[in-house]
Structure 1
Amino acid sequence: MIPVLYVDDDPDFLEICSLFFERTGEIEIDTASSAPDAMEKMASGTYECIISDYLMPGMNGIQFLRELRSSGNTTPFILFTSFDDEQNIKEEAYRNGAFSVVGKDSAGKNAIHGLIRTIYWAVLYSGGLKRPVDFGPATRFGAQENNDERKQNGIDHESVRSET
């Protein structure tokens, strides 16, 4: 299991993402509703990856990242944001040592599946992943749901041929 700390002030997003993470069977998720709460949890636990929302009361995600890096914490950090000024936020996040910035703007399971893949890559890249991992659990779930949806709508798996 990959221990991950997810920090977000939106309880609904914490719950939805946690359910998707747990479905992978590979990610052990711990949540915090603010950066100070996350720092308390980090004092008593070890995580292979940290995910944080950008816009949170008290301390935003980049301020949280700066705090971690200034204390010597090098855990891979993923900023998960829906903030409008995403390009400037990405640049600032990368300058401060973020592994990646993932947008919530695609809303729904596709954004979460992208986040899950990013978690795997962050942990693998940092050297924390010591065993082979199937990078596709979230993708498989999404593919199965898409296949089920296609069947319900009477769409088969063969390519659609255009008539010319």
Structure 2
Amino acid sequence: MPFRSHQKIQVLHVDDDPSITDLTGTFLEREDDRFAVQTATSADEGLENINDRPPDCVVSDYNMPGTDGIEFLQAVREEYPDLPFILFTGKGSEAVASDAIAAGVTDYLQKGSGTERYELLANRIRNAVRTRREAERADRQEQLMRLTEFNGDTGGFELDTESNTVVLT
């Protein structure tokens, strides 16, 4: 499906601090009216939400009790290897960023004060979702081309009405 300007973008934001998920969700929905933000306060709750209805993008904190953001990312990647996943963390470091990249994170962004951090997050979500949707569309087009080529090679027949014979081509 093409990335249309009116197409909704379902975002799941996972953070153990509900005030952060509320603030982030409010800002994202104000920044872009295509965003519909669902929240979860633990990785387990996030996985339940993803399994019930996969979002277009996951935004997750790193430092959460029980399952941290990297472990959550790894669990998501097992079932949804291409789902955009942005690690949006207040406790960032080169080690965390390196682990996130090794685990297949789509993007890594540190939280900060000011609206520019949320504007940047919104932009990264849009870019990640657009990239995934365009890749899915390209894959579908390739499949259709293969099917068309396959059907084109199956041959056909022609009926010669004068001789009442069928000629296979």
TM-score, length basis structure 1:
0.73
- Partners of 2:107 and 2:50 lie apart in 1 by 20
| Equivalent residues in 2 for 1:24-63, closer than 5 Å | 24-63=32-71
**2:132 aligned with 1:126:** yes
Where structure 2 has 5 or more consecutive residues not aligned to the other structure, the ranges are: 1-7, 137-169
- Partners of 1:70 and 1:45 lie apart in 2 by 16
- Partners of 1:127 and 1:35 lie apart in 2 by 25
Bigger RCO (CA 8 Å, 6+ sep): 2
Percent identity of equivalent pairs = 33
| Equivalent residues in 2 for 1:19-98, closer than 5 Å | 19-23=26-30, 24-84=32-92, 86-98=93-105
- Partners of 1:38 and 1:19 lie apart in 2 by 18
Please state how far the C-alpha of 1:129 moved relative to its aligned partner. 9.3
SS at match of 2:11: strand
C-alpha offsets along residues 45-103 of structure 1, whole Å, 9 cap, x if unaligned? Answer: 1211000000001100000001111234420100001114x211111101111011011
The root-mean-square deviation of aligned C-alpha atoms, in Å, is 1.7
Please state how far the C-alpha of 1:34 moved relative to its aligned partner. 0.4
- Partners of 1:129 and 1:68 lie apart in 2 by 19
Q: 2:58–2:84: 8 Å Cα contact kept in structure 1?
A: yes
Amino acid at match of 1:50: V
SS at match of 2:97: helix
- Partners of 2:83 and 2:74 lie apart in 1 by 12
Deviates more, 1:39-48 or 1:116-125: 39-48
Where structure 1 has 5 or more consecutive residues not aligned to the other structure, the ranges are: 131-164
Counterpart for residue 159 of structure 1: none
Q: Which consecutive segments of 4 or more residues in structure 1 shift more than 4 A?
A: none
SS at match of 1:65: helix
Counterpart for residue 137 of structure 1: none
Q: 1:62–1:96: 8 Å Cα contact kept in structure 2?
A: yes
TM-score, length basis structure 2:
0.71
Q: 1:6–1:50: 8 Å Cα contact kept in structure 2?
A: yes
Amino acid at match of 1:116: A
- Partners of 2:54 and 2:44 lie apart in 1 by 16
Q: 1:48–1:128: 8 Å Cα contact kept in structure 2?
A: no
SS at match of 1:92: helix
Please state how far the C-alpha of 1:128 moved relative to its aligned partner. 5.8
